[in-house]
Amino acid sequence: MYRIFAYCGSRNPQSRTLQAIVLIQQWLSSLQDSIDTQISWTICTPKDLRILPSDGTAWEFSTGVDRQELLGIDDSGRLKTMIEHCDYLILGSPTYGHNVSGDMKIVMDRLCYWSHLFYLSGKPGMPLVSASTNGYLKVGDMLERFMDSLGIVRDPTAYNTYGMPFENNEAQGAARHILAALTSHEASMPNGYQEELFRSYKRSYIRRNEQNAEYRYWKKHRMFDCDSLAEYFASLPQVEH
Ligand SMILES: Cc1cc2nc3c(=O)[nH]c(=O)nc-3n(C[C@H](O)[C@H](O)[C@H](O)COP(=O)(O)O)c2cc1C
């Protein structure tokens, strides 16, 4: 079973971001006959999951523990589990004032400590951005950099704007990318930006004390022993479906 998880950062009942995700889902199900493995989808919006904003303590970076998740006062535990366990991650956001939506930013803030760990290393994914007319490239860039920092191997960003509506052609293309990523037997490769981040984090974290959660994670996963993120990706076990 391949599991796809999509988070759509829009509360709009007529969300064009959500419509684009559903169109990709429909196209992927029409391509599904070409493979033996079933594909399951979970699509969530801020109306399905209550995610509190960061408490601002940055405790999770140094301890590895997200206090709000631990207290069970929101659905962040559920969200993280769905993201961790999926085989393909779609993050879709509307453009609000040339930025991601507030709901998407909250999710990004809450997952930010994962980015210092390349926690989703090798997981394939796709950013998706909706807008009426302007500011969407900046939003695409934000989602791309965020997904890069999590270690995700990205497919091209999908855009749904008035000038470039996301229709059948685009959805079919996106579905083909997803299918190829899910069924690929080739080694996942990080991009240049991810390699640069890896080098800079490695230089910094190796000097930390042994109590620090980032140091401990890097040590446990033998990331300090890797000369590159590509080498780390190659050391990861293959996911069974
Ligand atoms: C608060 C707010 C700010 C917006 N800012 C922009 C913007 O900067 N540029 C733009 O092209 N569209 C902007 N829009 C329009 C939305 O990006 C557009 O309606 C998009 O389809 C929203 O995604 P959704 O349909 O998934 O909710 C804005 C809409 C809202 C509600």
Q: Which residue's C-alpha comes closest to atom 8 of ligand 1?
A: 97
- Output the CA 94–ligand 1 centroid distance in Å: 6
- Output the CA 25–ligand 1 centroid distance in Å: 23
Pocket of ligand 1 (CB under 6 A): 10, 12, 15-18, 94-98, 130-135
- Written as tens digits, the pLDDT of the chain (241 aa) is 999 999 999 999 999 999 999 999 999 999 988 888 899 999 999 999 999 999 999 999 999 999 999 999 999 999 999 999 999 999 999 999 999 999 999 999 999 999 999 999 999 999 999 999 999 999 999 999 999 999 999 999 999 999 999 999 999 999 999 999 999 988 899 999 999 999 999 999 999 999 999 999 999 999 999 999 999 999 998 877 7
- Output the CA 91–ligand 1 centroid distance in Å: 16
Domains and CATH numbers, the chain: 2-186 (3.40.50.360)
Atom number, ligand 1, closest to the C-alpha of residue 132? 11
How confident is the model at residue 20, as a pLDDT? 98
- Output the CA 93–ligand 1 centroid distance in Å: 9
Q: Is 12 left (phi over 0), alpha (psi -120 to 50) or beta?
A: beta
Cα angle for residues 63, 67, 68 (degrees, 5° grid): 150
Long-range contacts of range 21-26, CB-CB < 8 Å, 24 or more positions apart? 21/90, 21/92, 21/128, 23/166, 23/167, 23/168, 23/171, 24/90, 24/158, 24/171, 24/174, 24/175, 24/178, 26/171
Q: Which residue's C-alpha comes closest to atom 18 of ligand 1?
A: 131
Top mutation candidate among 21, 98, 129, 132 for ligand 1, by most atoms within 8 Å of CB: 132
How confident is the model at residue 32, as a pLDDT? 83
